[in-house]
Amino acid sequence: MYKILFVDLHHHWDAKSQDFFNWNNLGFILEDYTNESDSALSLLKSKCYSLLIIDIVKCPEQGITLCKHVRAISPVPIILISDSTDFQLARKAMQYQVSDYLPAPVSSEDMRICLQLMNRKLNEEKAENKKASFDIADDLEESVIDKVKEYVTESLGQNITLKEISSTLHFNYSYLGQKFKYHENMTFNAYLLQQRMEKAKQLLEKTEMKVYEIANEVGYYEMDWFYKKFKLYTGVSANEYRKMKMVTA
């Protein structure tokens, strides 16, 4: 439900019987009612409303002044109820971004149409804001994943754990692991193994480094473990891989 603050500067409506219109049917609820400008501004500062309706019948200047003060603290949509046909008044209302201007006395049909349009607009803004939030979240996630990958590249020869990276980046360990798998279609450990093995293959092909030196370069200090991981990854031993690449070079 979208919350309404109803400001009756005209002192026309009965605060205890605001049932001339069924607000709920159009997704609104009459959250608060006041007939004082200062009270309205205090409520806007302390609470969150989706819509502000101001009755300025018989007091147009006071109503426009209230709109001015409202705009200084809130972008909330404003609907004015007025019996004035003063063009200058309408211009001032537009200056303060009044969303609609209902002629008094207001019929339930006029109010219904007005609120239908306002509900549609609020729903559209809500959807846009939600989409924007998701886009921002996605960008932030991609940025963090890029930082994880950069960390792996720069620290490939060291003992790397996602827990350590999570702490460095101030992210929850489990959350980061889930997001990494979502973005890269593989777990962090699988990615780390891939990067180490691809680096090892590159060094075997393009350098004359000894196998144990290559193992250390990619973060393995136990040769048996490196041999096992390399053979599982490529299907051949490190020495066999180097010989194969020398033959095909």
State pTM to two decimals.
0.56
Three-class DSSP category at 232: helix
Residue 119: how many CB atoms within 10 A of its CB?
16
Residue range 197-208, pLDDT digits in tens = 999 999 999 999
CATH fold label, 190-248:
Arc Repressor Mutant, subunit A (1.10.10)
Section 127-134 average pLDDT = 72
What local confidence, expressed as pLDDT, does residue 19 receive? 55
The tokens describing 141, both together, are 């996630």
Supply the pLDDT for residue 18: 53
Query: 3-state secondary structure string, 89-147?
Result: HHHHHHHCCCCEEEECCCCHHHHHHHHHHHHHHHHHHHHHHHHHHHHHHHHHHHHHHHH
pLDDT of residue 15: 46
Q: Which residue has the higher pLDDT, 83 or 225?
A: 225
80 sits in which H/E element:
strand 78-82
Region 142-162 average pLDDT: 91
Whether 2-106 and 190-248 share one fold: the answer is no
Which tens digits make up the pLDDT trace of 92-104? 788 888 888 888 8
Instruction: Write the pLDDT tens digit of every residue in 4-44.
Output: 999 998 877 654 445 557 788 889 999 999 989 999 999 99
By the 8 A CB rule, do 55 and 9 touch?
yes
Looking at residue 43, what is its pLDDT?
94
**Domain residue spans of the chain:** 2-106, 190-248
Query: To which CATH superfamily is domain 2-106 assigned?
Result: Response regulator (3.40.50.2300)
